[in-house]
Structure 1
Amino acid sequence: MIKKGHYIIMIGLIGVFALILVNTNSNPIRESFTYFPPDPDVTFESASTSLTILTQEDEDEYTLNWKSESTLSESAYLRQDLSFLYEEGRLIDTMSTWKENTASINQKKKFTSEDSGHYETISYHYGEIHYPNDVIKSAQEMSYDQLYVIDSPMTPLESFKTAHTEEEKEWEFILDHALVQQFQHVFKEIITEYQIRPEDYYIIPLTELHLYQEKALPGLSKEQSTDTIGGIWEGLYRNYFLGIQASEGQTASPIGSTIPLLLLHKQSPYLLVLFQTDSGENIQLIQYLNEPILSQDNN
């Protein structure tokens, strides 16, 4: 049951919004981007996200390299890539770049960390193609990568993406078990607050959304899935990446928030996006699949 409350209107699946440019550390960001219907004649030639370990700075720290790259089959009026990086299920960094009249975007960051951890990154690659008579279409792609880093005083620093040895499998189990426990705890708090019946939904963590790049979301057609995925990323950019509309009208940073959980209702045409902020506030976003509205319920 969706509780009635104060609603903040968010970006819809298809709409027209002005672009407002904000200079932050000399890197312009867009206030919003709009998902448009897919262009069957334009595709991504390549799209990837990667995490690699570079060096160990000292006994307590190591450096990771985070990259996102994509190339469209032709130059687009507008290109944008958006990436989220999570450690143990919590957002630790973001990247976003947009360019006009180009086919390719490359992003990268280096960051230091310490202790063992499971890192996950997911990226959304988007292109907006303009035709005569104000016809606008789009192309989208997602990419994902993960990295397990084992930083134990008893063994040399190591990393892996897929566990092969018995030791790697043991570490994978330990780190994943901690993540599952956190998910279960946060999920229970959110569904209790918003009186949600989880059995009524298909539940997909944002970090698994890339698995539906080529196949349909449960209960939807492939065409509906494409539009729904575009709407999800449109809403996440404006209401997660740019800042979370928390209680009492305050805007909170997404850093430290949990991986958003996508709950697609099995019978009704809407989905929920659930996560918890770094301060512990529960957030619910609502996307109506047949209406150009995303809205937030602050209860």
Structure 2
Amino acid sequence: MNKKSRMNLIVSLICTCLVVCSLYFMYDVFSFHTYGDIQSFDYVLSLNNDQIKLNGLEVFNDNKILKMSDYSLSLENLMLKEQQNYQVIISLNDIKNKASHQIINQFTYSNGQSKIRFQQQSLQFDITDLSKAYIQIKCDQEMVYQHALNLIPTKKLLGSNKEYRLVQSCVAPYDMKLGYLTTTNKDIIKQYPYVSLEYRYLKNEKKSKDNDNNYIVFKKISGLSKDIINNKKYQYYHQDKELGRLDQKDLSVVVIFSKDNGKTFVFKMDLSLEAGE
């Protein structure tokens, strides 16, 4: 082997070593950007007419489990009877698989209440192609109200840095699934037992993004780090229409880790729409 060939071989071996070492030491970062969430669909269901308003109901398929957010019904102009038991039935149609599933909630109407709230649920439904949705309200099997629901597809949000990633976050015009924070830093929970996530959007796009006073914090999640970090619990946010569309805002989240002695570790992650959204 001549001198030139040996030099080429040495350079090739050095380059190979550099690539292998880079992949090994940067695996955590690499894994953040290649991890794919198993999710077939993600919609916000809504209805707004003279009789009923349904706000903030999100349904999505997470690894063959149908997950549904908490939601509220406004019944201001629907004639209901005092102290009667009612069923609210959300029907989800999967035309591709010729299947239909129902989510049933119950409430007792009393004192002229105008707003009913229902809690989020996880159900063993495997729906791969949500095509239509309906709401029905019944009293003793008698149909009181029924209407088709609007299906609004959500847009997936991305936010990450070297050690942290916001997972399962998405946005619709007036609704947002806030997702949960994951990390590859195994020591952060022990070092900082408390954490706060402040979801915000830019108040004035003409002013500096570096000015914290130029942001509106619309949702804050606080608690023990062990209960929030790497914990697959979803929270949701519904915004009134007069405040503007969430999917057109410059979104970000500020993460604040803290100790009992007041010491903090703070960083910000910008949230951007996934390519193609």
Q: TM-score range by the shorter chain?
A: under 0.3
The TM-score normalised by the length of structure 1 is: 0.24
Q: Which has the higher contact order (CA 8 A, sep 6+)?
A: 1
The TM-score normalised by the length of structure 2 is: 0.25
